[in-house]
Structures are given as C-alpha cells and as structure tokens.
Amino acid sequence: MARSALMNVMTQAAMKAGRSLTRDFGEVQNLQVSMKGPADFVSQADRKAEEVVFQELSRARPDWGFLMEERGTVEGKDSQHRWIVDPLDGTTNFLHGIPMFAISIALERDGQIVAGVVFNPALDELYTAEKGGGAFLNDRRIRVAARQKLHECVLATGIPFLGHGDHARFLFEARQLMGETAGLRRMGAASLDLAYVAAGRFDGYWETGVQPWDIAAGSILVREAGGFVTDTDGAKFDAVQGDIACANEFVHKGLLAELKKAKTALRASRQPAPAAAADVTP
C-alpha cells in the first residue's frame, strides 16, 4: 500500500517511539516509576516516547500544534491543524509486562479527526487510516465485523479504576450488556479497543470519561473501516468530551438501546425513596 506523505510522517513517528518502548518493555522491572495520581502511573518510557513523537512531528510540520498526555496543549502557528498524541496508551499494562499497549497519533484539522495511527510495538501491529482512504492493519485493508445480532457479539469497554470515573454507571451498563451479549472484554488500552473494532476482532466498544488522546486516532480507524462512531447517547462524537460508542450500523443501534436502558435504571436507583405514609391509626 502506497502511503501519503502525511501518513509516512505519522507512521515513522509512531514506529520510532515504538522502538524506544520495546527496549524499555524488555526491562520493565528496572523502570523508574513515579506517581501522578491514584493508580495513574507515568514512567520514564512514557516520557521518552512522547519526546520522540514530539520531535519527529515537529520536525515534519513545525507550525502545527499538539494535544499530548504529558505536555498538554502546545499551541502552533497553524491554528487549523493539531496533533493529538498518547505516547503510551496502556501504561498499567506496560508496567505489568502485559503486551497490550500502543502509541496513538491523530491529526485534527479544523476540529475534525482526519488521520490516525495506532501502533502496538509488542505485537508489531500498525493500524492506519486517513479520511476517505480506508483503514489498514500492516497494509492490509480492514473492515468492522458483520454480525447483526447483539447476543452474538463480543464488546469491549473500559472499567473505571481507583479515583476515576463513575463506578455506579459502569456497573449498571455492564450488568445490562452482560445479559445481552456473548461477552465483554477489558483490554486496558482504549486505542487498541478501537483498533480491534476496526479490524473486526471486537464487534463494538463503549466507554465514558476517556481522554481525547486515547480515542482520537482509533475513532477514525473505526469510521474508515465502515463503523459508526457516536457518543454513548447516540449524539455526534467529540473526542474532547470523552464518551464513545462504536460498532457496525446494526450493533451500534443495539448497543445504544442497551446503554439507554442502563441509564434509565441508574437514574431510577438514584431517586430518593418516597416518604413513608403517615400513621393515622386511631
């Protein structure tokens, strides 16, 4: 597959960062790890990979801005373009020696995600997509799964962890969907969840409260693989808002319907109990 100049820039940055992560992954027990919040680890590997991506993309497109996990927002002279980068999605997996982590790079143009790369260096899997150009895994065209019945589907999601997310909401959603699907999976890396939906490995994915750098690149992978991407209410997807639901057309409808049921049940559970009737016994 012949890649565009833009995709070459993105893939080269991801693969160079991947080589850095692979070296550190082989010595994961020796990494110096610091804490930046409850159960939210930042490693030397994370920072090194981000620096590699930052330098590579800045060299190729010096006027474009960034939204990055560690650096935050870096304004560019060109206000139309912004890179959205997670140099190590799946940090906890990485630190535990689990080979499910990725570099995620997306390009936002005028507020729309127009290109994305997700690279898992441990498995040597490179997912790429450009708007209107289709989605690919290691240069092979990929499509979302064709299943139409929710009870035949395996869905991916993220589970809120210590100090993060709405645990009650997740439990209601998981309870609702466990009874309607063939299974739920939690990979620990949103970018790979989305890449797996694009490749037809998962039939769908939903999550709330996700960071934009975790889902921006994956969202265009799913769209270019023929999938539907919205927020969990079925409204227009916005990576910055951090709510996402995606699948093929049929499964997407079913997923949204079950999430709506879970939302209704959660709302009812949070209503105050009615006051007891007054005792009017003479």
For residues 92 and 78, the answer to whether their CB atoms sit within 8 Å is no
Instruction: Give tens-digit pLDDT for 154-208.
Output: 999 999 877 777 889 999 999 999 999 999 999 999 999 999 999 999 999 999 9
Helix (H, G, I), strand (E, B) or coil at 133: coil
pLDDT in tens, 15-71: 999 999 999 888 876 665 665 554 455 678 899 999 999 999 999 999 999 999 888
Is 218 within 8 Å of 227 (Cβ atoms)? no
Q: Which two tokens stand for residue 75?
A: 């304004």
Distance CA 143, CA 42 (A): 34
Report which of 119, 112, 16 is spatially closest to residue 59, judged by C-alpha positions. 16
Cβ neighbours, 10 Å, residue 242: 16
Nearest residue to 69 (alpha-carbon basis) of 87, 81, 54, 52: 87
Q: Which residues are annotated as a binding site?
A: 69, 86, 88-89, 214
> What residue ranges define each of the domains in the chain, with the CATH number in brackets?
5-141 (3.30.540.10), 150-269 (3.40.190.80)
Percent of all residues in the chain with a pLDDT value above 90, rounded to a whole number: 79
Q: pLDDT at position 108, please?
A: 98
Q: Helices then strands (H, E): number in the chain?
A: 7, 15
Instruction: Give the residue ranges of the annotated binding site for Mg(2+).
Output: 69, 86, 88-89, 214
Q: What's the token pair of residue 142?
A: 């990929």
Count CA atoms within 13 Å of residue 225 on its CB side. 36
Whether 168 contacts 249, CB under 8 Å: no
Which run of H or of E encompasses 268? Answer: helix 249-269
DSSP-derived 3-state class of residue 282: coil
Which residues share a beta bridge with 206?
Answer: 157, 245
